[in-house]
A and B are shown apart, each in its own frame.
Chain A
Amino acid sequence: EPEVTQTPSHQVTQMGQEVILRCVPISNHLYFYWYRQILGQKVEFLVSFYNNEISEKSEIFDDQFSVERPDGSNFTLKIRSTKLEDSAMYFCASWPPGQGTKNIQYFGAGTRLSVL
């Protein structure tokens, strides 16, 4: 079965550094998402991406965050200057075309970001 792939599985960085989290969504999917889950808390929506642009973003997704789909296969989340509170598991998800809301979102295994 096709799957969403995320790399790296664990990223350790120093506060203030830039990080890029990478995702390869399922190839024929059209909507792409980033979510995050701080340890012990619920999964929170960050941003959705459709037709090469952001379709929606949450209050969490401020100017420190950006997303790109640079080459038609990868989907990246960049955090420009990491803070301690950015430490979380980051999940990428993709959503197929057709049948609209009858389709599930497919999630990657996540990248655990640890900011020291």
Chain B
Amino acid sequence: KQEVTQIPAALSVPEGENLVLNCSFTDSAIYNLQWFRQDPGKGLTSLLLIQSSQREQTSGRLNASLDKSSGRSTLYIAASQPGDSATYLCAVTPFGSGYALNFGKGTSLLVTP
């Protein structure tokens, strides 16, 4: 059974720092991996999607990498801002899943001014 783990569970950094969030998954048989942002009490916003054949995707200050063979992904946030404070979720789409997403528990990020 696919397990998705995110480390750290919580992170607090001063504004301007570059930071890395980690995601690991136990089964490399995936279609893709996505990173989402969740604000308190709100829905999920997709940030980046990496296909299983890709190594990385970039959007603005965000860069996500995927190493499928080792079951790892990282989300790099450059020059963090207080508005980046949120929970970041990693999710994989396993083969044979009906394309349902399998989520990690998330990393809660606080960027202080």
- Which of A's residues lie within 8 Å of B, judged by CB? 31, 33, 35, 41-45, 48, 50, 55-56, 58, 89, 91, 93, 95, 100-110, 112
Contact = CB atoms under 8 A, between A and B. Distances in A.
Given A56-B100, A95-B99, A110-B43, A102 B106 contact: no
A101 B32 contact: yes
Interface of B: 4, 31-32, 34, 36, 41-46, 49, 51-52, 89, 91, 93, 97-106
Nearest to B6: A42
B103 A31 contact: no
Contacts of A105: 34, 46, 101
21 contacts: A33-B100, A33-B101, A35-B101, A42-B104, A42-B105, A43-B103, A44-B103, A45-B102, A48-B99, A50-B98, A55-B98, A56-B98, A56-B100, A89-B41, A101-B93, A102-B51, A105-B34, A107-B43, A109-B42, A109-B43, A110-B43
A3 to B, nearest CB: 9
DSSP majority for the B interface?
Answer: strand
Contact of B100 (A48, A91, A100): A48
Nearest to B89: A43
A41 to B, nearest CB: 7
Give the 5 A-B CB pairs with smallest separation, nearest first: A56-B98, A101-B31, A109-B43, A107-B44, A104-B46
Nearest to A6: B43
Nearest to A100: B31
Nearest to A56: B98
Given A42-B106, A109-B43, A104 B98 contact: no
A110 B51 contact: no
A48 B98 contact: yes
Contacts of A102: 32, 49, 51
B34 A104 contact: yes
